[in-house]
Structure 1
């Protein structure tokens, strides 16, 4: 039987990619440093996914799986050397810590079988393929470089499914349980697969595209941007869950217009059909409304240093709209709210919000978002001050219209 290696047994690893492998006929080996999770997966060999369908959760089972501890270097190396396909869903910040171990696994694979290997990179990062390849390559010996370049594929994929924290009632029944929505499409970069010209692996839901940047940016600069905007604005109104924010008409007003700003710019940047991009937006909004997905604002908003960045969801969407000649006024409101996100449980949020208050928002925008143009700093600062003093919604509408119509 074919074997898949899933590096990361978190919600995306188990709730989406592991399920895709199972439905494609693979025996899946998870790698994780959570020893308790590893032991439970080994013992059970399966786990439930609660899929939200309409107003109910429908359980589905992923079977034929096991796990190894990510701190057991030899076990991880053996699995990389012997699997048929591999994926990562670790979080961008973790990748540098596993790069040398991945390299050792690839070197062992070259020595033992010399077979090619494709690695699906399930991380929210534009250029994730180049990033991970660049982390691993320094650990590859000179004699193995040709194998590394010609036989190892680093494949960017776009993960669009929503996988929030699992409700406690399901975890009480089975601590391996995961909760997801219905989404199943997995766009993958056709140019990342190796060897070049060989048939791509058949994975349930995987659709291969080239050029691929459009799909990564659609996920990050529309879906993730809107999600983060909801979290930061919802936090200021003291909501706890995304579905609560989705029911707030004032935030929904800003959200929908921010999504349109980014959608128009993305279509223009890539020469994509605007109707198709707007259809993506229209199908996204009901998914954000789903009350069965108990997604917390803390989970969605944490690490604003990254999410406000020029290469990430909010800063990246803002700069893209400017690049394409638009006025990202509604996205600016989300950025302003991000700099007010001072969630006590998130030390990074406290660092960013404190820097903005002590050093000034202009300095924070330059440091964290790469936004320096005087007109951009002025617009975001105006919204920052309005949010900070809890200005009425009618005032936001007036100021937003001022910027969008060029009457400032």
Structure 2
């Protein structure tokens, strides 16, 4: 079985590529970094190390790579592949749509009758559906009609912490032991070879929202609260008991919404939160606060990990004082080396806090959360400025 994976970064190699190889897929990474591409082509393997006490290391084999710019070669690989996966970031899905479209066109032209599954493994709700919407306008009508029969785009939820890292071997990657990959079963076509370790479910939304609004929300909240307190790493933040308690309170607020919406068992969800907090505190992982908090504009957008659960909680009548504080903390993330953070600060200076909340976060002036976030922002900013002055 052949898999084409877009993105040879830490998530691609340390999570998706590893699982595909373990399921006996030959994996061709489509990447941009010439050095990594050359090394993957030459070695056809790389090591991944678990961030546990023994630092267990596994060799991932049956891999190679090609440059994303070689679109004809990429198309040839897609034409004969059984599976396409991605780990490029939601904003980059548009960039890989054209080579995938060319591959699908070639595949249909060659009359390959085997099913092709395209799974976007991104931190987003409906990632594969988003990718499909980017690809299909690039196909002619005849190819689209054929693709509807032979190409499927199952949505997925993925979860594994893979921090930024620096090894002597550029291909080596360190990952946490925990992982979760959930795929929407009804979207699969006959003939799909299941991937070992993947959980296939009939309803994906509960799993996606549980992950997005617990793991992703909690992780970025740890970064924003920690940044305001001057901490450098997530591990330092999690060692600070008052901050750890604040992070848990946020996750309990999003959890209250998830429990009502998806009928989760409260005790099981509380244990899930415990597990996530322990993952953040893993002593064998060092993750920078500024890395986890990066791209605050995206994380404050209407359908992402902060605003979306807040608005849904409000619909259920759930109080969210800690989540609104976290949203305010995100608005105060002013890390100078983060382009989005600087753009965010410029917007607030130019148009004001209320306009930012209305126009960028999608929360109307009349919505009760709007005033709560403004109040939290002014309070946190005022206390921070008072600390600086003293």
Q: Same fold (TM over 0.5)?
A: yes
1:282-297 matches, cutoff 5 A: 282-297=274-289
Residues 129 and 192 in structure 1, CA contact (< 8 A), matched pair in contact too: no
Following TM superposition, by how much is the alpha carbon of 1:391 offset from its aligned partner in structure 2, in angstroms?
A: 6.2
Residue matched to 1:401: none
Q: Distance in 1 between matches of 2:363 and 2:114?
A: 46
Deviations 1:234-282 (A, max 9, x none): 1111111111111112211211011011112012112333333222212
Q: Distance in 2 between matches of 1:39 and 1:21?
A: 21
1:169-318 matches, cutoff 5 A: 171-172=167-168, 174-194=169-189, 198-318=190-310
**Which SS does the other structure have where 1:215 is aligned?**
helix
Q: Distance in 2 between matches of 1:60 and 1:202?
A: 21
Residues 27 and 64 in structure 2, CA contact (< 8 A), matched pair in contact too: yes
Following TM superposition, by how much is the alpha carbon of 1:130 offset from its aligned partner in structure 2, in angstroms?
A: 2.0
- 1:94 aligns with one of 92, 100, 103: 92
Residues 115 and 191 in structure 2, CA contact (< 8 A), matched pair in contact too: no
**Which SS does the other structure have where 2:196 is aligned?**
coil
Residues 115 and 192 in structure 2, CA contact (< 8 A), matched pair in contact too: no
Following TM superposition, by how much is the alpha carbon of 1:343 offset from its aligned partner in structure 2, in angstroms?
A: 0.7
Q: Distance in 1 between matches of 2:122 and 2:136?
A: 19
Change (3 A) 1:272 1:149: farther
Residue 373 of structure 2 is aligned to residue 375 of structure 1 = no
Following TM superposition, by how much is the alpha carbon of 1:56 offset from its aligned partner in structure 2, in angstroms?
A: 4.0
Residues 140 and 148 in structure 1, CA contact (< 8 A), matched pair in contact too: no
Residues 85 and 119 in structure 2, CA contact (< 8 A), matched pair in contact too: yes
- 2:350 aligns with one of 352, 358, 372: 358
Matched length: 383
**Which SS does the other structure have where 1:62 is aligned?**
strand
**Which SS does the other structure have where 2:154 is aligned?**
strand
**Which SS does the other structure have where 1:80 is aligned?**
helix
Residue matched to 2:388: none
**Which SS does the other structure have where 1:316 is aligned?**
helix
Residue matched to 1:136: 135
**Which sections of structure 2, spanning at least 5 residues, go unmatched?**
386-390
Residues 306 and 323 in structure 2, CA contact (< 8 A), matched pair in contact too: yes
Residue matched to 1:82: 80
Deviations 1:293-341 (A, max 9, x none): 1111122111111101110011112112112221111111110011000
Residue matched to 1:149: 148
Q: Distance in 2 between matches of 1:183 and 1:369?
A: 32
TM-score scaled by length of structure 1: 0.90
Name which of structure 1's ranges 351-360 and 245-254 shifts more when overlaid on structure 2: 351-360
Residue matched to 2:163: 164
Residue 104 of structure 2 is aligned to residue 106 of structure 1 = yes
**Which SS does the other structure have where 2:21 is aligned?**
helix
Q: Distance in 2 between matches of 1:26 and 1:41?
A: 16
Residues 7 and 29 in structure 2, CA contact (< 8 A), matched pair in contact too: yes
Taking only aligned residues, the RMSD between alpha carbons, in angstroms, comes to 1.5
Following TM superposition, by how much is the alpha carbon of 1:114 offset from its aligned partner in structure 2, in angstroms?
A: 3.2
Following TM superposition, by how much is the alpha carbon of 1:81 offset from its aligned partner in structure 2, in angstroms?
A: 0.7
